[in-house]
Amino acid sequence: MNPHQQQLPAADPAVLARYESDKRAWDEAIRAYQGPDPLDIWFNFICWLEQHKMLDKEGGFRKILEQCLSNFENYENYKQDVRMVKLWMKFIDMQANPLNLYQFLYKKNVGTQCACFYIGWAHYYDAANAFKQAESIFNLGIQVKAQPMEELQEAQNKFRLSIAQRMLYNDASSKKRSANTLVEQRQQITSLSPPQKKLKSDSGEYYPQSAQQQTQSQQQQQPQPQAAQTVQTQPPQHQSQAQPQPQPQSHYNQQNYYQNQQQVAQQSTVQAAAPVASPAPANPT
């Protein structure tokens, strides 16, 4: 069994049937989408899946997450999009060597203007007791003015306070409490938000509408331009005009994608595992 896949309790057959039906409707809506922001519907679908992970008995969440990343990883206008960065962070949290992958994304200029990227990166150094490296990552984010700056500075202050407390209280119970706090922080950092877009709003649940209904809804909104709905709090600036975008990959192989990402990340990792771009933090060795 996948170590990240929990043993799920049996669910009501009617609930499972409704879940599978809704999941198919989301899939239809994704295939039918022709708007200016294809990541939007993917992101909301993945958020919806995470909210219903107790019904995901076959581990479909991970496969769909990886497929989304494979589709959009080369879209320049998504590299600093908080939604895409959050999806990458969720993917990284599923891997055995998260620090390698943060280094890999940094070199690809993914998330380098987003505060959450540096907060997540520093967290894994903190969890490895590499406090100097964690501090250097926070400083790097501040140097490049990652946004929201207040969020980044608050996370750095909490990190420094946590270090001081761990040095002051070094007994077994305090260590256990600190370890539990780190686990909670990791869950908060990598957790996705509830879906911000309902494809059908006649109830409190997320029931996607059919692809035909979604297409009709899009046509009714024309010629008004569609505003991309995101879950960003204070996003970094994006290009305001449409960008030429590579075509999504038509074929997806989950195993090859994971292996390729791991191989590239390992090749790009420096011995000190510190950012090499300029400006960069002090050598954490």
**Cβ contact 81:238 at 8 Å:** yes
pLDDT-derived band at 248, boundaries 50, 70, 90:
very low
Could you tell me how many helices (H) and strands (E) the chain has, helices first? Answer: 11, 0
- The arithmetic mean of pLDDT across residues 185-201, rounded, is 67
pLDDT-derived band at 200, boundaries 50, 70, 90:
low
pLDDT of residue 188: 78
Q: Average per-residue pLDDT in the chain? A: 75
pLDDT exceeds 90 at position 194 = no
Spatial CA neighbour of 205 closest among 214, 192, 194, 219: 194
pLDDT of residue 134: 97
Q: Give the CATH class of 7-97+196-221+250-267.
A: mainly alpha
Q: Contacts by 9-15 with C-beta closer than 8 Å and gap 24+? A: 9/54, 11/54, 11/55, 15/55
- The arithmetic mean of pLDDT across residues 269-274, rounded, is 42
pLDDT of residue 145: 98
Of 166-170, 230-234, 268-272, which range is least confident?
Answer: 230-234
pLDDT of residue 10: 58
Spatial CA neighbour of 40 closest among 54, 26, 24: 26
In this structure, what DSSP letter does residue 94 have? T
Kindly state the percentage of the chain with pLDDT values over 70: 63
* Structural domain spans, the chain: 7-97+196-221+250-267
Residue 38's H or E segment, with its range, is helix 38-51
- Residue 114's SS3 state is strand
* 253-265 exposure pattern, b = at least 16 Cβ within 10 A, e = fewer: eeeebbeebbeeb
pLDDT exceeds 60 at position 165 = yes
Its pTM surpasses 0.75: no
Give the dihedral sign, CA 92/97/103/107: negative
pLDDT of residue 135: 98
pLDDT of residue 244: 38
pLDDT exceeds 70 at position 147 = yes
Spatial CA neighbour of 110 closest among 70, 73, 140: 73
pLDDT exceeds 90 at position 122 = yes
**CA–CA distance, 156 with 134 (Å, rounded to integer):** 9
Residue 113's H or E segment, with its range, is none
pLDDT exceeds 90 at position 2 = no
Mind listing the pLDDT tens digit for each residue in 40-89? 999 999 999 999 988 887 778 999 999 999 999 999 999 999 999 999 99
